[in-house]
Amino acid sequence: MNEPDYSAKLTVDAAPHQVFEHIRNVSAWWTDDLTGSSQKLTDEFTVHFDDIHVSTQKVVELVPDQKMVWLVTDSRLTFVEHEHEWTNTRISFELSVLGHKTQLQFTHFGLVPSNQCYNGCSKGWDYYVKGSLFKLLTEGKGTPGL
């Protein structure tokens, strides 16, 4: 039986281009402890959350104002036994227009309930996608790195 990947959906009163640009500005909503770049195809960046979570992402798909996909090329999650659970997973942002609004479908492919980190990681994504990124899109300021 296939397990569902973690996903979240947001709808905001903003143009797809604006949403896309905010997603690419990773340090404004996920963590400001970031090295590298997340702007164009093949860019790589590493996020750090103290010694709890370090992961490197590579931009492997980029369709301006529509879709961005990151491949997690390396990960270290020190709060679980299998520290590299995120390695070779994909993080996807897909945008669609709903009337005068933009819908974001966020999916972390490979982050499934049987993963040891699923509970903690899904709560983290809830905070960063449904909370911080949503605030960035609706209020102009996210809450990265908390």
Which residue ranges form the domains of the chain, and what is each CATH number? 6-139 (3.30.530.20)
Query: 136 Cβ partners below 8 Å, 6+ apart?
Result: 22, 25, 28, 29, 142
Query: 21 Cβ partners below 8 Å, 6+ apart?
Result: none
pTM as predicted: 0.95
DSSP 3-state of 93: strand
Residues of the chain with pLDDT under 50: none
89: nearest Cα among 119, 117, 127, 66: 117
For the stretch 13-53, pLDDT in tens is: 999 999 999 999 999 999 999 999 999 999 999 999 988 99
The overall average pLDDT reported for the chain is: 95
